[in-house]
Chains A and B, each alone.
Chain A
Amino acid sequence: MIPELGYGAAIVALALALWGAVTAALGARTGRPALLLSAQHAAVGVFVLVTACFALLTYAFLTFDFSVRYVATNTNLGTPFYYRITGVWGALEGSIILWAWMLALYTVIVILRHRVSARAFYPWVLTVMLGVLAFFLLVMTVAAPPFARSSPVPADGRGLNPLLEDTGMITHPVALYLGFTGLTVPFAFALAALITGRVGDAWITLTRRWTIVAWYFLSLGLLIGGWWSYHVLGWGGYWAWDPVENAAFMPWLTATAFLHSVMIQERRRMLKLWNLSLVILTFGLTLFGTFLTRSGVIASVHAFTQGAIGAFFLSFLALVLLTGLGLLAWRWDALHAQGALDSIVSRESAFLLNNVLLVAVTFTVFFGTVFPLLSEVARGVKVSVGAPFFNQVNVPLFLALIFLMGVGPLIAWRRASLDNLRRNFLAPVLVGVVAAAGFFALGVRSAIAVLTLALTVFVAATIAVDFARATRARLRVGERLFPAMRGLLLRHNRRYGGFVVHLGILIIAVGVTGSQAWSVQTETTLRRGESAELAGYRVRFEDLTASEESNHFKVAGAFTVSNGRVLGVLRPAKKFYPQEQSPIAYVDYRLGLNEDIYLVLGDFARDGSQATVKLLVNRLVSWIWIGGLVLTLGALLAILPERRKGA
């Protein structure tokens, strides 16, 4: 029953989305309100139907309805309740429903918010959003139908990919998809601006907060993904430049570039063409990411499935890029820049350089990701590009970006005077230089580490200088300290939200630098009662225990960790799932502000007499999560409605 109901709902939703897209476009051309109203109703109908699909699939998961093929392939009778819910979007077909549902939700919110406020763009925005939605519904009904029937109905299902049995898996895809789908809104506005010829600033002002919201979710998704990688995959790292990670990182980079470049357009009426291109590119990259992870074109640790879906996504990506860029070419005459750079030493040029660098990073990541394909075309050999390539090329670019993070927000618009430079940067530069000397004196010898840390201190100092100066100005007019600070944050929330985000990035940069430069690891085989030592920690192998869990068999080692005093017992394990060919590592760790001790269980003797264990002491990794928290708080601050009155 459920397969038929779900399938029917998806088909009706597809028809409604197509109807809505067409009527909205006709409404835009003829100006007849009835058409637009019909499109609106269709959009609401789509939302209701996709919600129903989502609910039906969830119900099928909860009741183990293996007549639904997707349920049978992603759950089994042993799957705990919690993971039966996350299992809904644990694989391709379900993730498409989640995607479509979020997009429908965003469409409804756009209707509620912009029906009146963005009258000129609104019909075309609706057309684009419903068009994109129709694509995902087409995938849902044709290429990867989640409601396909299974015959014969198996007695038990295959089970969820064990790596996805983690709490991070409830939030990571949800946040990431909210980010991806959220980027459809600025894209729809950009196309509407091009179609209507209103390529001024209006569309940017209207979508600014939408972009920040999408960016916030995308950042959150990336961070949770890193955390999942760190504590589930068991190799001690948080980022591997894996194609799927890159796929999510690229739109984040271009969206970041866009968030900065819009400020130049708002202020100086420049970069119209650039901003529109960035938005189209960003949306194209979200599709590219989906294509990459779903098509099986490039092998990856978390590749989903392969099949017809790749051709669908590639065709849609082609449609989006050719339409978007074609519209750009068509409106070429209206997009010519009006302003010009007055000086290299100005905020405009700092922002411009920031954009160039971010796009350069995007390009190198893209290049590295598709390199296996390129090399196959050129030489017939599949060669992957590893982390060293990405690190070598991107680290200098990242360092330059951090430097600009200090310069951009404080330097004057148009042309910075020598006085402006001295007033804003003399102290931070001095602090940075002193910090560099200090780190060197403390024994930091890696040039990159010294440079990164010194730059971080420099940027933090510029933020402090700015905040202190603004607070002082408010104190002078009679405010007290804390109300003055709070007022600054809330009234200039976009600016200071940005600063808080920058602080978050700095903290992350310190974490990344520390973990790269100072982490140590070793692997050793211990007999029961024996100990190994690493970086001041002593790890003793106590014993091995086996247990039967609801859907897997688990072998856990007990290791007592001490550094002078006993810190506790860590129990890294190997989980054996019947549906997996190799066991899944379950790492155990003790997180600290300065360092984490992290244990991975390797081979072991069946009688429990000895076990191989990998010990890692990862330095400053926690700073990455803390920085991430700060970053998201800053983004939230920037999303708040502006309370500033007047100037």
Chain B
Amino acid sequence: MSRRAWRWLIPASALPVLALLAYGFRVNPREIPSPLVGRPAPSFTLTAFDGAPVTLEAQRGRVVVVNFWASWCYPACYDEAPVLERSWRAYRDRGVVVIGVDIQDTTEAAKNFVRDFGLTFPNARDPSGKVSVDYGTYGVPETFFIDRRGRIRAKHVGALTDGVVRVHVDALLAEPAG
């Protein structure tokens, strides 16, 4: 290489660094594996906003989607609330239950949330925070997918999309019952 050509190595030297940084986009630091996946789902009994009891045990034999949310969790919980309602309506006749667990919230704000989004699946407050501790939630929203035998099979952090629900629920429905 001639002496004059060498100088173009100056800008070229920036390229490997830029390439390294671009590589960084491929990784997702938010993906935290849950040690609970594959283990039996912790049982709970709560009282729904309409006064009915909500018991996980009673749902044995059905695929259960447990969603932890809060009314102050804007925007993620606002984004996923319609998704949950849609999924519930689409799957309820196929042996799927959606349960919303409202944590660190006030009853009034939570009730307004349920009303505003027209949620019809069971939603209950976790007043003591015990359920969210049992499930090891880091924040809201987090969603657990539980199979017919009552084991946690997947966990999703952040707002749900129709696609995410479909993938997990369809996979669990495809498994033989019992």
Using a CB–CB distance below 8 Å, which chain A residues touch chain B? 69, 72-73, 76, 150, 152, 154-159, 277, 288, 291, 295-299, 306, 310-311, 314, 317-318, 321-322, 325-326, 328-329, 332, 370, 373-374, 376-377, 382, 578-581
- Chain A residues with Cβ below 8 Å from B18 are 314, 317-318, 321
Contact string against A for B residues 126-145, beta-carbon threshold 8 Å, 1 for contact and 0 otherwise: 00000000000111000000
Please measure, in the bound complex, the distance between the C-alpha atom of A370 and the C-alpha atom of B4, giving whole angstroms. Answer: 32
Q: Which of B42-73 contact A (CB under 8 A)?
A: 70-73
CA distance A215 to B29 in the complex (A): 33
Alpha-carbon distance A329/B9, docked complex (angstroms): 8
The complex places the Cα of A31 from the Cα of B34 at a distance, in Å, of: 65
| Chain B residues within CB distance 8 Å of chain A | 4, 7-8, 10-11, 13-14, 18, 20-25, 27, 29-30, 70-75, 78, 104-105, 109, 112, 116, 137-139
A578 touches B11 (CB 8 A): no
Pick from A152, A158, A332: contact of B72, CB under 8 Å:
A158
User: How far apart sit A318 and B16, CA to CA, in the bound complex (Å)?
Assistant: 11
Majority secondary structure of chain A interface residues (helix, strand, loop or mixed):
helix
Q: Which residues of the other chain, A, contact B27 by a CB distance below 8 angstroms?
A: 297, 376, 382
Say whether A157 contacts B11, CB under 8 Å.
no
The answer to whether residues A314 and B21 also contact, given A150-B74, A157-B72 and a CB cut-off of 8 A, is yes
A152-B78 contact given A298-B24, A321-B14, A578-B72, CB 8 Å threshold: yes
- A578 pairs with B105, CB closer than 8 A: yes
Which residues of the other chain, B, contact A298 by a CB distance below 8 angstroms?
24, 29
**Contact status A318-B116, CB under 8 Å:** no
Instruction: Please state if B13 and A325 are interface contacts (CB–CB under 8 Å).
Output: yes
Bound-state Cα–Cα, A321 to B4, Å: 20
Which of B23, B74, B75, B137 has the most chain A CB within a 10 Å cutoff? B74
Residues of A within 8 A of B7 (CB): 328-329, 332
How many angstroms from the CA of A577 to the CA of B13 in the assembled complex? 47
Chain B contacts for A317, CB-based, 8 A: 18, 21
| A328-B10, A329-B7, A581-B139 known; A373-B20 Cβ under 8 A | yes
Task: Verify A374–B20 contact, CB threshold 8 A.
Answer: yes
Task: Tell me the complex Cα distance, A158–B139, Å.
Answer: 13
Which residues on B sit within 8 Å (CB–CB) of A329? 7-8, 10-11
Known A373-B24, A377-B20; further 13 A-B contacts with Cβ < 8 A: A73-B74, A76-B72, A150-B78, A152-B116, A158-B73, A277-B10, A296-B29, A297-B25, A373-B20, A578-B72, A578-B104, A580-B139, A581-B137
* Min distance, Cβ A61 to any Cβ of chain B, angstroms: 15
Q: Is the CB of B14 within 8 A of A322?
A: yes
Q: Name the 9 nearest CB pairs between A and B, nearest first.
A: A297-B24, A325-B11, A321-B14, A332-B7, A329-B7, A299-B29, A326-B11, A581-B139, A154-B74
CB distance from B94 to the nearest CB of A (A): 29
Interchain residue pairs with CB less than 8 A apart (19):
A73-B74, A76-B72, A150-B75, A150-B78, A152-B78, A154-B74, A156-B71, A156-B72, A288-B21, A296-B30, A298-B24, A314-B22, A314-B25, A322-B14, A325-B10, A325-B11, A328-B7, A376-B27, A377-B20
Which residue, A154, A314, A580, has most C-beta atoms of chain B within 10 A? Answer: A154
Whether the Cβ atoms of B25 and A72 lie closer than 8 Å is no
Q: How far is the CA of A351 from the CA of B47 in the complex (A)?
A: 73
Task: Check B138 against A581 for contact (C-beta < 8 Å).
Answer: yes
Instruction: Give bound CA distance, A76 to B8, whole Å.
Output: 53
Q: Which residues of A contact B21 (CB under 8 A)?
A: 288, 291, 297, 314, 317, 370, 373
Report the minimal beta-carbon distance from A220 to chain B, rounded to whole angstroms. 28
Measured between C-beta atoms, what is the minimum distance from B76 to chain A in Å?
9
Do B74 and A158 have beta carbons less than 8 Å apart? yes
Contacts of A291 in B (CB 8 A): 21
Closest residue to A310 on the B side, CB-wise? Answer: B25
Check A325/B20 contact, CB under 8 A, given A156-B71, A295-B25, A382-B27: no
Chain A residues with CB under 8 A of B139: 580-581
Give the CA-CA distance A76 to B70 in the complex, in Å.
14
| Closest CB in chain A relative to B55 CB, distance in Å | 25
Identify the closest chain A residue to B5 (Cβ): A329
B75 touches A73 (CB 8 A): yes
Contact: A159 with B11, CB < 8 Å?
Answer: no
A51 to chain B, nearest CB (A): 28
Most buried by B among A155, A314, A374, A376: A155
Residue of A nearest to B22 (CB): A314
Contact of B23 among A69, A311, A322, A377 (CB under 8 A): A377
Of A72, A321, A322, A376, which contacts B75 at CB under 8 A? A72
Known A-B contacts A311-B25, A370-B20; the reply to A325 vs B14 at CB < 8 A is yes
Contact A332 B4 (CB under 8 A): yes
How near does chain B come to A248, taking the closest CB pair, in angstroms?
17
CA of A145 to CA of B55 in the docked complex: distance in angstroms? 43
B143 CB, nearest partner CB in chain A, Å: 15
Please measure, in the bound complex, the distance between the C-alpha atom of A382 and the C-alpha atom of B74, giving whole angstroms.
Answer: 31
* Nearest Cβ on chain B to A296's Cβ, whole angstroms: 6
A157 lies within 8 A of B74 (CB):
yes
- Report chain B residues within 8 Å CB of A318: 14, 18
Task: Determine the chain B residues whose CB is within 8 A of the CB of A578 once the complex forms.
Answer: 70, 72, 104-105
Give B112's nearest chain A residue, CB to CB.
Answer: A155
Contact of B109 among A69, A156, A159, A310 (CB under 8 A): A156
Of chain B, the residue at the smallest CB distance from A157 is: B74
**Chain B residues with CB below 8 A from A332, complex form:** 4, 7
Q: Please, how many angstroms separate the alpha-carbon atoms of A606 and B22 in the complex?
A: 49
Within the complex, the shortest CB–CB distance from B105 to chain A, in Å, comes to: 7
